Each structure stands twice: as C-alpha cells, then as structure tokens.
Structure 1
Amino acid sequence: MIAEVAVDCPMKKLNKVFHYLIPPHLKQFISPGSRVIVPFGRQRVLGYVLDIKEHSDITQLKYIHDILDGQPLLDENMIKLGKWMAHRYITSLACCFNAMLPSALKTNAVEKYTVGDNCYDEKLKTFLSTPKALGELIKAFGLSSQDISLYIKRGVLVKQKHYEHKSSQKYIDILQLTKGVTKEDISKRAYRQHQLFEVLKNQKEVVFQKLPVELKRAANSLVEKGVVLKKQKQVFREPNNINIQEKCVISLTSYQKQVFETVSESLSNLKRDSFLLWGVTGSGKTEIYLRLAEKAISQNNDVIVLVPEIALTPLMVNRFKNKFNDNVAVLHSGLSQGEKLDQWQKIKEGKVKIVVGARSAVFAPFKNVGLIIIDEEHENTYKQEENPKYHTIEIAQKRLELSQGVLLLGSATPSIESLYRTEHGEYKLLNLPKRATANEMPLIDVVDMKSELENGNRSIFSKKLFKSIKKSLDNNEQVVLFLNRRGFSTTTLCRKCGFTFKCPSCDLTLTSHDNGNFLICHYCHYQLSKPNSCPSCKSIHLSFNGIGTEKLQKEVQKVFPKSKILRMDVDTMSSKDSYNKVYQQFADKQGDILIGTQMIAKGFDFPDVTTVGIIIADMGLNIPDFRSAEKTFQLVTQVAGRAGRGDKAGVVILQTYSPEHYSIEHSSKYQYKQFYLKEIKIREALNYPPFVKIIKFDIVANQEERVKKEAIEVAEMLKELQKKHQIQKSEILGPVMSARYKLRNNYRWQVMLKTNNMKQWLDILNKYNFPHKFSKGIRVSIDVEPTTTT
C-alpha cells in the first residue's frame, strides 16, 4: 500500500506530494487525514496523508516511520479544502493543514538519540533502549560534542526527531465501589475506610483529587484490596464566560420575521445560498442568528458562528449558551492550550452542535456543517496575515460548497465588495433598517475641532462633548469614549532642535506609555526609559505630542474627578479574562465612563449609555490605503451604535478636523447607501476592488540595496510571465517602498498586481513555485486579495 503524503518541511521549494510505503503493522491505522512521521533526507518530519493507493510509478520508496494520532484528524472535505487553499493562497499543503488544527495539537520536534547498527556497548544499548535527549546522554556518559558527532558518523548513535504534542488531555481519577462488595469486606477498625465506603455507596462516583488527605489514604488502601475501583476519566476544560442574562426578544419585528423566514427556507430546502444581512446597530441581528441556529440544529446540521475579534467572543458565547446550554463550544487564540484542545475534541467527537469563535473557528471539525454565520463581516480581522493568508469568508464559502449549507454575513456597515456582490447576484441582500426596540438611532452631532481651537478651546473635549458627558453623569447614566490609538502620546520630540525619538530597528516614532515614563515601539517592542534630554542637542525641553487612550484617561479623570473610569485597549487586556472582567464591571455599573479603542466599537449593548464621544473621528483618513474612507465610515457608525440602546435616548459627539470629508458627512447621518454610491464611483475610476482583483508581493531583506534590487526583479519576472502567457486585463505596479519601510531591521518593498484574470495568474504562480524562486535571505510573501495595500 502506498500513501500520498504532504510533507511539512522548511525546504519550501519541495512543495509537492511524496509517496511512501505503509508498513504492514500500520496498514489498519493509516488512512487519509492521518498525521505520520516520515523519513525525509537525513531527518524525520511530519506529514499529512492525502490518499492511499495500491501502486506508485516511483521506485525505491521509503517506509512511513510512525503514525502520530490514534485516528485521522482531517476528513475528506477538509483535505479537499486544504488542496484548494494551497492553490488559492499560493502556499504549501502542510501549511494549510497546520492552520486547520488548534495549536495544542501541533507538535514540537525534539531531537533525541538512540543506538545505531554499529553500537556494541551493552551499557549504552541499555541506556538508549528508549530515545534520550542530548543532555541526558552527556550527563550519563560524560561525552563531549565532538564525541557525539564522531559516534553519529561511525553509526554508534542515531539522532532522530521525536514529535510531541504541545498540550495533552486532562484526566481526573474517579473512585467507584467494586460490584458486589459489602461493608463486611472492610475491617471494623478502619474508621476512615468505612467513612469512604458510605460516601461511595451514596454517590455513583467520587473524584479522588477532591477528597481530604485522610480519605485519600483510605481510598488507596481500598483500591489495593479490590474493594474500590480507581480509573481515569477525561474532563473538558471550559473557558470562563461573561455571566450576564441577556434580555430576550419575545417576538420578532416584521423585518426580523422576513429575514428569518427567507434564510430558514434555504435551510429547510438544503439550498447552497449566501446572504448579506444589512442591519443597523441594535436591529436584532443576534436574535436572528440564535433562531437560525436552532432551526439548523433541528435538521441535524452543525453551526459555526464567527466574530471578528477574540474580545467579542465571550459576549456571543454568553448569548448562545443562555439559549443552547452545553451544546456550544468556543474556539479562539485567547484560550489556554488545554482549553483549545478540549473544545476542539468536543466538536470532533460530536458532543456539541454549535461553535462560536474568531477567525480560526471556521475550521471547526464538524462533519455536517449546514450554517455558517459571520458577524461584522466587514472587519479586517477575518483576513489571516501570516501564511496561509486566507480570508475567512472565502473559506466559509468553500466549506459550504463541499457540504451543502447556508452562509449568512451580517453587518451594520457591509464592506463595499459585499454590497457590490449583492448587486451582481453573488449574495442575496436582506435588510433590517430599524432597531428592534422603538428607539431611533442616536443623533450624531459633528464638531469641527478647528473652530474649537479658533475659539480658544485647547482641550481634548469640545464644549458639546463636555456638556454631554456632565449631563449623563449627573443623571447617573454611562459614557463611552472612543479613541483608536493606545498609549499616552504618539510622538516625543525636542522643542529646540526638532529631534524625534524613533525605534532604531523600525524607523518609526516611539509611543510613550505610563505618563511618558517609557517609550515603546508597537512593532518590535523596543523600549526606552523616559528621556531626560535630547540626545542630539542635549536640551531638556521635550514635548509629548499626540494622544492615546492612556492620556485620554488621565485627562478625563482630571476633568471629572469623581467618575469611575474603565479602559479597554491592548495594554489593559493583558490576560485572557481581562475583557470579561471590564465588560462585567461596566454592565454592573461599577464604571461611569468606558474609554477604549476599536474593541469597544462592536458588540456592546449597555442600556444606560447615553453619551458616546468620538475623540478624533478622522484619524484613519490619512492612512495611504484605498479603503481608508470605508474603514472610517464603518468605525464611526459602529461606535455611534453603542448609544441609546435602552429606554433612554442617546447622543453621539463626533469630533473631527475634516467635517467636510464625505466619509464623515455620510456617517454622521447614517447614510450608508449615499456613501456607497460615492465610494464605488471612486473605486471604479481608480480601478480598485471590487472592479479588479489584487495580488500583493512583499519583498523583505535586511540589506537596503539588495531588497530594492530583488523587488525590481520580482516586477520584471511578473511582466515576463504576463507577456509569455499573454495574460490580458492585468497591470503590474511598482516596485515601491512599503509605507512601513523598515520593520525589525528588515527593509520592505512591494509590487502590486491588478487583474481581472485571477484564475490564470494563480495557475501560473503555483506552476512556477513563484515565492520560492529567489535567493537566500530574500523573503517574497504573496497576499491574494489583501485587505490593505500599505
């Protein structure tokens, strides 16, 4: 029997399938989807079995060394998905399969030593009857590194890679009475044993670890006598969730009913449909998700619910667990290794029908996926930034193509591409134009901060925002302040000579934290203690310019000293339970004002929030990216939706230096359709998505001149391929320096390909193994349909 194996090898030029013989003793265990250890050159590496064949055209095949798991981890559809991903995102098969598995199931390769054919030392043979690590070998025999190398060369020792899981299953010891035993089987003088007997008689099983010390001793004695059985039982580690009873919507609005019935019909008829649910903030999208999940489960289908950020996962889990109890698993990178493994196994073993999670949960090992819901579908976080650089929506579409199911994308501010697809029949558009309650959308009051400055107001707060915050606090209501930048200040400079403190590895300005007590680079984490003087001119007159959430918190506390302030950003969310804790505190009204970055822009439903302040609304408009206006519109609309969600009316104060910009103008009036029409015309004129597809090539090296030279070569090679294969409707732009030119001592250039012949380009780039054609020390990374061009 022959196995086709995708080898997980760092030699990326060998991105193909290899054939191996299956040893007779492993034939009944190895099948497609199994992970195996195979010889590859002089080492042993991890591989994924794709298929089993009777014959191979290749002679002199090697045998598979071992199998890694008790059962296949990937089914037929996931293998097909991995093959599609490798072609779509121009990467290796093993890279795609690795992405499908939780990190807890991934393996560590540990070098160990065993005896070779030329070993005649009986003591060494005995010691190495089981493979040993290098340290153990040196300690036992006092060998030097030269001795080890010589023994390997002579065949006395063999160095091998052994693969070990990063995390393991958790077991507890369970005690049970042996069938047929009675009280008379225990000595009358053994008081503790009799005490334990009574406990076990009244309970089906007892956890050994929970017993007091004296009863543990009694238990061990009874186990030895055969009176008590002691066996291991696997337990599933559960992540902590928010404990809030969400208000239930008793009856659906007419708009909600129409949406539910339309999607429900596709579920009932097993249609492979894709829907875009465009619903304003507070329109009750989550209630529809819950009811559709219930419908899918009633038809014995599995359900995947995705949210854009880890921070939002506990809130969605809470809502689903309130309805479906233990039928819900959760998957995201914020869980511990053990929690991830347990949740994944629960899904794999069919113990749950619903999984809620972030991006990677799209690979949940369900056998019968019938519904995938992607909430806030417009978010960039659905795009994976490391290999394989997949887009979650594309993966979801492919999974449902393989298993026949329904895709539901939800958003208050759909991406331009998604709405465009509804106009061209790829998605079916569904609308929720009104909030589920009787409340209107909160009024957005735009404040021109240039006018505030001209009128002598140099504060972070406009007069309108100050009054609105004070009014809410006086009425015992809550306030949310949004600023999409963390830290204390963004730039530290010398007021005398203009010197700016920058990261030596990234050539970017350092952000100050802790009231300016240290400066840090948010890319490579380089830190600098608070400078006392300018390193250029020695002046002590330093200025901390710009504002982040930390500085905003300090200013708010100064202006409203009696208020209780909570902050939610990357710096304060240090542990996996930080989000839950802050959310719970604000929900319980232990905080008056919540300050945060974009993680507070979505999913928050606090009825007492009556004022939302957007401190600098146009911060993202200066980013050199064709989606900057769209992202600004989405953020403003999403943040504004946090106000007035209860019985009290809300107000949003939007502070900006660009009130005339069409993104600010339309978002302040909730005019998504007008914004879309304006933006789509600009995209068409500039030939940007959705009117064209983009492939971005990032060229990275640690030598400035070399990376430029290689970037020119990449552009030339693409032009040669275009000419050779006569590819029409394609434009190659660049090379140009990346917006973040230097990061972690590496220089970056990019080439961008615009095309309406994506399939032809993918076929050619995969055929030529394009990213691996360049010299050592040069990294060429390909991003198919990137979310940003910076």
Structure 2
Amino acid sequence: MSIKYADIIVDISHENLDKTYQYSIPEELLAKAVIGARTLVPFGKGNRFIKGYIVNISSKPNWKVEAIKPIHEIITDALVIESQLIHLAYWIKETFGATMNDALKTVIPVKKSVKAKEKKSIRLIAATEEAHEFLELSKKKNNRGRVRLLEELLKEKELDYDLAVNKLNIARQTIKDLEHIGIITTDAKRLYRNPVQATASNRKDIILSPEQKQIVEDIINKYREGIYTACLLHGVTGSGKTEVYIEIIAEVISQGRQVIMLIPEIALTYQTVMRFYNRFGDRVSIMNSRLSQGERYDQYLRAKNGDIDIMIGPRSALFTPFEDLGLIIIDEEHEGSYKSEHPPKYHAREVAIERARLSGAGVILGSATPSLEAYYKALQGEYILYTLPTRNGDGCLPDIWVEDLREELKKRNKSIFSIRLKELMLDRLQKKEQIMLFINRRGYAGFVSCRSCGYVMKCPHCDISLTAHNNGKLVCHYCGHEAAMPDKCPSCSSKYIASFGTGTQKVEEMVRKEFPGARILRMDMDTTKQKDGHEKILAAFSNQEADILVGTQMIVKGHDFPRVTLVGILAADLSLYASDYRASERTYQLLAQAAGRAGRGKLPGEVVIQTYQPEHYSIVAASHNDYEGFYRQEMNYRKMLMYPPAAHILAVLIAAKDEGKGLLASELISGATKEWLSAEGFEKETVVIGPAPASLSRANDIYRFMLYIKQLEYRVLIGLKNYLEGYINYSEQFNGCTVQFDFDPMNSY
C-alpha cells in the first residue's frame, strides 16, 4: 500500500494560509484523514505537539521521505468550525476550479489580525488604610501624579484609564509604578467595533397575511422535523418576504442556532438592517465592503464567540464562523453579485446549499424575479416552491404603460421624456408625490465618436470605448485610464466628434431644465463613493427632501418609499443590447424590480417603460408582471441554444502578456478538450466554441482568449476541468499564462 501524505496548516490566519507542512499519514489513521480533519502533529526541533488542519492529501512527498514526520493523532471528539470551513473550501475548489489556497482565502476572509480595541480601567487593590498611608507618603515626596491618582481612587475605587491619562494628566509610568508596588491594578476589557449604530428598539409586532402565515408554518414545521430542503420564495415586489424571513429566523434563534442573511451589497441599507435590529436587538451584526478592517475583524470574532445570532451581509457573509448555523437566507437571489468575479468563481447559492448540508441547516432563496436556475430547480423538485402573488397590506401593483420611442420621434418629440411620462411627472409634482427615474447607465454620456469618419475613442490598454464624464474627462471603466475630451478627431481631424448616449448626469441636467422647480437627487457610483453615501441620499429622499430621484440600478433594489407613485424607466432596452445570453433575463428583472418601487404605500402607483422594442417578450412580460410567461419563453430559447439552466457552460479564460503565447495556450487547451471528450465518449453531446479572442481582448496590456464548452451534465464539465488542470500543470507551454475556469458564467468575457 502506497504511503499517503497530508498538507497541514497549523495557524488559521489569513497571512499564514500559504504555509503548509507535509506529514505522512499512518495506516491506522487513513480512514479518519479527510480534508478539514483536525490533527495533532509534532512540530519544530523539539517535536512539541500542536494542532493543525488537513488541507490536501496526495501520494507524492514534497521532500526526503525520511525527513517527513507522521501525524500523531486525528482529533474526532468535536466538529470545529475551522474544519467545516476548510472542508467547504475543498468543495469549492473541486466544484468551481481554483487552487486550494484561493479557496481557503475565500472562506477565511479576515486578511489579518488588527489591533484590538480595549477599554482599560484602574482599580484600587490595597486596603483603604494602606492606600491612605501611601497617599501621605506621596504628598511628602511631592509626587503630584501619585497624589492625584490615589485621591481619585479613594473616592471612586475604579477609574477609566484614558480619563486618568488625558484628563488628570497622570503619566503612564506612574500607573505602572503603583501597579508594580501592589497598590493598584489595571483591567482591560476587549471592545468590539459594532457597525450597527442603532437607536432604541421600537419593535412592532408583525401581523402576517394568511398566505405569509401558511408559508411560515410550513417551513418551521419542516425545520422542526429536521427536513432541510432548500426553499424558493417567489413573491411579487411588496408582498412581504422580509416579514416571512423574520418569523422563521425567530424560530431558528429560539432553538439556540444562528442565521446568515445574504443581501446584495447595493440593497444593504440602514432601512433594511433596522427591520432586523428592531426585532432582534444587538444580536444582529452586518458585514459589507465599507466596514473598516477592524470592524470586519471584530464581527468575525463576535460570531465565533457566540455574541451575535444573525449576520447580514453580501456574498462574503456566507463564511461567517458560526458554530451552530441553523439557517441561510439569500434575498434577491437573482442578483449577479452573488457570483464571484475572482477565482474561485463560485456562486453563493450553490455554496450556501453545501454549507447548509455540512451544518444541518435550512436554506431559503427569495426573489420577486427568481433566476432561471433557481426557478428551474424548483419546478424540477430540487427546491420547495412557495409563492406570494399579491402585495401585502394596502399596496397594490402599479399600472404600467409601455411607450414606443419610435412613435415619439414621429410626433417630433426629441426629448428623453415621452409625452405621457412628462404629463405624469407634472401631475405628481403638483400633488407633492415622489418620482423615481431609472436608467441603467453611469457617467455623463456613452461613447465618443466622430460623425465624419466613424472613429471611436478607445482605451489604449483595454480596447473598449471610453466613457465621457461631466468634468471633460474620458474614463475607461475597466482599468481607470483617463484622457481629455479631444477638440477634433484624432483620425481625420474633423471637428464633428462628440459623446453619444445618455447617462445619469445628463438625465439629471435634462430634468432640471424641463422641471426647474423640482428638487432632484442623483444616485449612482459617482455620488455614492463616500462612506454612507447611499444612506445619505436614500435618507434624504425618504424624508421627502427631494421630489425626484434619478439613478442607476442601485435605486431599484428593495427600497421602500411610500410616497413614490411614479417610476419612469427611460431606456428599457439598453440592457437588451448586451452581448450576453442573459440579456433578456436581466432586462425582465430590472424592469420588474424598477416597476416594483411604485405604489408601495396607500397611494396607487404608475410606471412608464420607454423603449424602442415594445414587442420584445421580456418587456411585454414585465409590463404585465408575468414571470411565468417570461420563464416559458426564455427557457425555450435556452434549451434551443444549450444555455443554463437547460445545459451548463464551462468558460475557460486564457490570459498572457505575450499575444502569441496566449493564442498557442488557448489552441492547446482546445485540442486537449477535444481529445478528452473523445476518449470519454462525450464528443457528440458536447459543443466546443473557440478558441477566440475575448470580447474584451486586451485589458491592462494583457491579451485574453476564450473557450466555451457546453454540456448537459455538470459532472462531465467537472471531469474535463480536473483533466485540464493536470494538463496545464504538467506542460511548460503554459509558463507566462494564467488560466481561469468559470462554470455557468454570469457575464460574457
């Protein structure tokens, strides 16, 4: 029997994940030696026993066999959270294609320990009589610092350390001296940075509708019986999905277990967090990219120490180190941000289901516009499907108008506002009601081109068009390259060079010109760069400090403004022009979500969808709030062209600084792919596209090539990925190239 070796990490901190030590696995421990297993190993020259975790197992020794020490023991007395997360990292590596190191750094996301915040206090430990004697002695020696400190401590018994140093001007050395003598002691209490700055709780009892109540009872009953099948909650906008989540969370917490609630970062607002804080108090914490390093570190410590029960956050919150995780909720599960753009390119939905399996936990996916993948699995019986088809309480779904912009042009209306939208905006401004205008574009305008020769201003590093901004700069939204707006065409010297397209800044200008008395706010990437930028704009609009909110997709994500009675979607089909098979799905989701912002209070709402393609099925379905109709038509298209979820795609991205080397590497991978498919008997049922330059063929002076492989069975693509990983590792032709795998990509390359 060949000897097996284990790579072991002995320090679970982010900066030490690269440092693995190889040990041999004794024959009697082979059955227990699995990825994530906790071990006791001899370490260093003194062979002292320390604990570690297995992160890889192989048959190949990394150095002299006689120098490799054996594992002393595999600890199986208790499952610790580190073991579970390492096991999850290995599953991610195997399922999505990445190095184990990248996977570990994903599931153990705290980059480094930061300095702990402490609250220090000084306490008198000497007897009162002894302290008085020492005070008199200090007075005689004219030691003023000691006198001030002792006089204060004889009155208070305990004193805040910072107060003593900063207000009483007592030297730190004086404190150390009295501590050394045994008159006083200093106590330090760890302070955790808490990102939830909440006011006093004003909890309101939730009154569920019969439909909500039935769903809550059914999920809770299954949970109590230990049935942890994933659920999909398909509820129209404003149907009360959050109330359902809260009631189920309360049940899970009552059983002493913890909850992870994933929300897209763009929708993670103060308004959202407060709904949970008002119910569960300071047992709630949040995780997002705007927290400081110290705040992030403290939230992981609080979770690990059992100081919180609920973690709310985007994708990364999925790896919160809860010891007894009972439930994972993914709200707005259709959001593309749940798919990682960096290796490992995992999807939070699939990882959540695997983590729940390891923990014995439930999973709830919720959306008004579910992803086709989730809805397909629900119809196939993999998920339990629950529906909330009507709005909760006083709200009712808005009336939706579809305006054909081609007809507007025939009427000589060259404004960005259709006649109907302009009339409705005037009506709402007179009634003191609020309006939201949505456009799925950022910046002052689109690309800059010459009307004389057709030349387009492009980024010299990324080969994509530059975007014009209000400050006269042209900006590349991939690498950040900036250029000045030219006076004449660099190609033909014509003066007819200008920006085309419409962005949020331009819309804001046109609104001000058309409705001079209106108070306007704009919300996009540029106006929300500062910390709390989202909150300030949303709070101002919520407080009715503005009549019109102009914004990109971040204004349509789950926000609830009762005074909004009109939503204008200015260019509904912009997202249809994307070179991406998900373009129709994204368009439907954006339109339905944007329309869902209107009429959420007692006042009825209206939505105006402006488009050049009113007959497109995604726009027709969104205007009728017909998700099932859209799903049927879109799935026919996906089945015909072998796109997810009807089939699966493995995207292989090859990148290199040398264009020739990148091209050769892509051709070698294509050849190896076809050979493997032929040898395994999958050639006829698999479609291989490419290799070809990526649509973004050069980024930051790195050339990019793509290969797409379509297959009905995910397991076949996993087998191919495993084969290609080995092929790439053992061939020198790939030196100087990077190869990334992406299963069922969310974006085209």
**TM class by shorter-chain length?**
0.7 to 0.9
Residue number in structure 2 paired with 1:41: none
Work out whether residues 267 and 370 of structure 1, in 8 Å CA contact, stay in contact via their aligned partners in 2: no
For residues 561-586 of structure 1, the C-alpha deviation after alignment (integer angstroms, 9 at most, x for no partner) is 23222222111121232112222222
Residue number in structure 2 paired with 1:554: 509
One of 685, 690, 710 as aligned partner of 2:665: 710
How many angstroms apart in 2 are the aligned matches of 1:251 and 1:282?
A: 15
How many angstroms apart in 2 are the aligned matches of 1:381 and 1:214?
A: 49
Residue number in structure 1 paired with 2:421: 465
Residue number in structure 2 paired with 1:589: 544
Scaled by the length of structure 1, the TM-score of the pair is 0.83
For residues 52-89 of structure 1, the C-alpha deviation after alignment (integer angstroms, 9 at most, x for no partner) is 99x9997133689xxxxxxx995222222122111112
One of 98, 109, 120 as aligned partner of 1:173: 120
Structure 1 residue runs without a partner (length 5+)? 9-13, 34-47, 65-71, 106-164
Residue number in structure 1 paired with 2:698: 742
1:5 lines up with 2:8 in the alignment: yes
For residues 632-675 of structure 1, the C-alpha deviation after alignment (integer angstroms, 9 at most, x for no partner) is 00010011111111111111111111101000001011011111
How many angstroms apart in 2 are the aligned matches of 1:494 and 1:2?
A: 64
CA displacement at 1:536 relative to structure 2: 2.5
CA displacement at 1:384 relative to structure 2: 0.5
**Aligned amino acid, residue 762 of structure 1:** I
One of 779, 782, 788 as aligned partner of 2:738: 779
One of 187, 192, 198 as aligned partner of 2:135: 187
One of 36, 40, 60 as aligned partner of 2:66: 60
Residue number in structure 1 paired with 2:23: 19
For residues 372-413 of structure 1, the C-alpha deviation after alignment (integer angstroms, 9 at most, x for no partner) is 000001111100011111110111111111111110000000
1:225 lines up with 2:172 in the alignment: no
How many angstroms apart in 2 are the aligned matches of 1:229 and 1:611?
A: 65
CA displacement at 1:447 relative to structure 2: 0.8
| Cα 1:641/1:267, change in 2 over 3 Å | same
For residues 200-221 of structure 1, the C-alpha deviation after alignment (integer angstroms, 9 at most, x for no partner) is 6787855433557341417864
1:669 lines up with 2:624 in the alignment: yes
1:410 lines up with 2:366 in the alignment: yes
1:481 lines up with 2:437 in the alignment: yes
**Aligned amino acid, residue 90 of structure 1:** G
One of 547, 556, 560 as aligned partner of 1:605: 560
1:78 lines up with 2:26 in the alignment: no
Structure 2 residue runs without a partner (length 5+)? 13-17, 25-40, 71-78
How many angstroms apart in 2 are the aligned matches of 1:498 and 1:745?
A: 25
How many angstroms apart in 1 are the aligned matches of 2:505 and 2:133?
A: 69
Aligned identity (percent) is 36
How many angstroms apart in 2 are the aligned matches of 1:220 and 1:18?
A: 47
Kindly report the root-mean-square deviation, in angstroms, between the aligned alpha carbons of the 2 structures.
Answer: 3.2
Work out whether residues 135 and 151 of structure 2, in 8 Å CA contact, stay in contact via their aligned partners in 1: no
| Cα 1:639/1:205, change in 2 over 3 Å | farther
1:620 lines up with 2:575 in the alignment: yes
1:519 lines up with 2:474 in the alignment: yes
How many angstroms apart in 2 are the aligned matches of 1:513 and 1:368?
A: 49
CA displacement at 1:301 relative to structure 2: 1.2
CA displacement at 1:501 relative to structure 2: 1.3
**Aligned amino acid, residue 456 of structure 2:** T
How many angstroms apart in 2 are the aligned matches of 1:771 and 1:313?
A: 44
Work out whether residues 616 and 656 of structure 1, in 8 Å CA contact, stay in contact via their aligned partners in 2: yes
Within a 5 Å distance, the mapping from 1:180-579 to structure 2 comes to 180-181=127-128, 184=132, 187=135, 206-210=159-163, 213-217=166-170, 221=174, 224-226=177-179, 227-239=183-195, 248=204, 250-312=206-268, 314-515=270-471, 517-579=472-534
How many angstroms apart in 1 are the aligned matches of 2:104 and 2:80?
A: 10
CA displacement at 1:49 relative to structure 2: 5.6
One of 104, 107, 129 as aligned partner of 1:97: 104
One of 84, 87, 94 as aligned partner of 2:94: 87
Work out whether residues 435 and 547 of structure 2, in 8 Å CA contact, stay in contact via their aligned partners in 1: yes
* Number of residues of Structure 1 aligned to a counterpart in Structure 2: 702
Question: Match of 2:111, SS?
Answer: helix
How many angstroms apart in 1 are the aligned matches of 2:499 and 2:325?
A: 53
Work out whether residues 693 and 706 of structure 2, in 8 Å CA contact, stay in contact via their aligned partners in 1: yes
CA displacement at 1:247 relative to structure 2: 8.6
Work out whether residues 304 and 361 of structure 1, in 8 Å CA contact, stay in contact via their aligned partners in 2: yes
Residue number in structure 2 paired with 1:129: none
CA displacement at 1:694 relative to structure 2: 1.3
Residue number in structure 2 paired with 1:769: 726
Work out whether residues 239 and 335 of structure 1, in 8 Å CA contact, stay in contact via their aligned partners in 2: yes
**Aligned amino acid, residue 298 of structure 1:** S
CA displacement at 1:548 relative to structure 2: 0.8
| Cα 1:185/1:659, change in 2 over 3 Å | farther
How many angstroms apart in 1 are the aligned matches of 2:533 and 2:159?
A: 34
| Cα 1:470/1:241, change in 2 over 3 Å | farther
**Aligned amino acid, residue 104 of structure 1:** K
Residue number in structure 2 paired with 1:139: none
How many angstroms apart in 2 are the aligned matches of 1:751 and 1:771?
A: 15
| Cα 1:744/1:24, change in 2 over 3 Å | closer
Work out whether residues 15 and 92 of structure 1, in 8 Å CA contact, stay in contact via their aligned partners in 2: no
Work out whether residues 81 and 399 of structure 1, in 8 Å CA contact, stay in contact via their aligned partners in 2: yes
Work out whether residues 2 and 22 of structure 1, in 8 Å CA contact, stay in contact via their aligned partners in 2: no
Work out whether residues 310 and 357 of structure 1, in 8 Å CA contact, stay in contact via their aligned partners in 2: no
Question: Match of 1:769, SS?
Answer: helix
| Cα 1:725/1:657, change in 2 over 3 Å | same
CA displacement at 1:591 relative to structure 2: 2.2
How many angstroms apart in 1 are the aligned matches of 2:292 and 2:322?
A: 21
